[in-house]
Amino acid sequence: MSSQLAASSSPALPANLHAAESAAPASPRPPAGRHWRRALLGLLLPVTALAALELAVRAGLIPANLLPAPSQIIDTLRDLGAQGLPGHIGASTARVALGFTAGAALAVLLGAAVGLSRHAEALLDPTFQALRAIPSLAWVPLLLLWLGIDEAPKIVLIAIGAFFPVYMGVASGIRGVDRKLIEVARLYRLSSVALTRRVLLPAALPAILTGLRNGLSLAWMFMVAAELIAASRGLGYLLSDGRETSRADIVLAAIALLAILGKISDSLMAAIEKRSLAWRDSYA
């Protein structure tokens, strides 16, 4: 008891506030072979489905003009590679990067304001919740009228798609911080900046990072919607071109590239999330 009283009289923060900053005791690292087994297990379902599709098309069970075999899609990708496919991939990736960065940055600022202030929540949150329900394609005519058919409406549409998941993650993450942590921080007279840095941000970080991952996924989806309407380059343009020319192989090749790029970007965000939350002693 005396040691607890002595600790409470000192300026040091209690252990539960330091837990968010200090790393948890290092758990035994899984062997390297386990990572390879997990990766191979993740490939089992898509590889099996592709092999079954290849056999079904070759056996004539599925019309090749409606659902081409995976080998034909690979040939199509090879042909598109000689016709400027890297340019289409680069254009779509650049649009997603710009739109996601702009939308996520604005969402973090406004989400933090709504999470920290009841007045900001009452003022902003009802409007954002109403706007969140608007489908992506409903924005397209208005953005085309306002911004023309150049890059600006595409970037803005992608930013809109990324904004709402990140906003929800930041606002709900801050609102969900344990009240006892905030009360203890105020007991120790932490400033607003120290309270945010040492308590609110670490406690809300899991929800914020989840919102960022969801926002990045929606950014790819909104990119396709933007490029389907008005674009001369990009994976969305390839989808539209394949539909207009009745080339199912081009459509599926573009879909496969979107899946690969989305998986790569999500894996990068997952790595950032894992590194940022290494201090947590969670079930995983």
Instruction: Classify residue 81: in a domain, yes or no.
Output: no
User: How many C-beta neighbours within 10 Å does residue 227 have?
Assistant: 26
- State the residue for tokens 């930013």: 159
Instruction: Classify residue 98: in a domain, yes or no.
Output: yes
Judged against a pLDDT cut of 90, whether residue 123 lies above it is answered with yes
Quote the domain boundaries for residue 168: 89-276
pLDDT at 15: 45
**101 confidence band (pLDDT: 50, 70, 90):** very high
pTM: 0.82
Top pLDDT among 284 and 78 is at: 78
Q: What is d(CA 69, CA 65) in angstroms, rounded to the nearest whole number?
A: 9
The Cα-based distances of 125 to 54, 85, 100 in angstroms read: 50, 42, 21
Do the Cβ atoms of 76 and 249 come closer than 8 Å?
A: yes
The Cα-based distances of 148 to 141, 143, 165, 185, 209 in angstroms read: 10, 7, 27, 51, 33
Top pLDDT among 214 and 135 is at: 214
pLDDT at 32: 57
- Residue 129, amino acid: Q
Q: 167: closest CA among 207, 140, 201, 196?
A: 207
Judged against a pLDDT cut of 80, whether residue 2 lies above it is answered with no
Instruction: Classify residue 53: in a domain, yes or no.
Output: no
Instruction: Classify residue 16: in a domain, yes or no.
Output: no
> In a 3-state reduction of DSSP, which class is residue 85?
helix
Q: What is d(CA 172, CA 112) in angstroms, rounded to the nearest whole number?
A: 9
Instruction: Classify residue 22: in a domain, yes or no.
Output: no
Share of the chain above pLDDT 70, in %: 88
Judged against a pLDDT cut of 70, whether residue 19 lies above it is answered with no
Do the Cβ atoms of 155 and 99 come closer than 8 Å?
A: yes
Element (H, E) at 36: helix 32-58
Instruction: Classify residue 101: in a domain, yes or no.
Output: yes
Give the chain's mean pLDDT: 85
Share of the chain above pLDDT 90, in %: 54
Q: Which two tokens stand for residue 242?
A: 């394949």
The Cα-based distances of 212 to 35, 148, 208 in angstroms read: 25, 29, 6
Neighbour-count burial for 77-105, b at 16+ CB within 10 Å, e otherwise: beebeeeebeebbebbbebbebbbebbbe
Number of domains present in the structure of the chain: 1
pLDDT at 30: 56
CATH assignment at residue 160: 1.10.3720.10
Average pLDDT over residues 217-221: 94
pLDDT at 158: 95
Instruction: Classify residue 83: in a domain, yes or no.
Output: no
Instruction: Classify residue 143: in a domain, yes or no.
Output: yes
Q: What is d(CA 220, CA 105) in angstroms, rounded to the nearest whole number?
A: 17
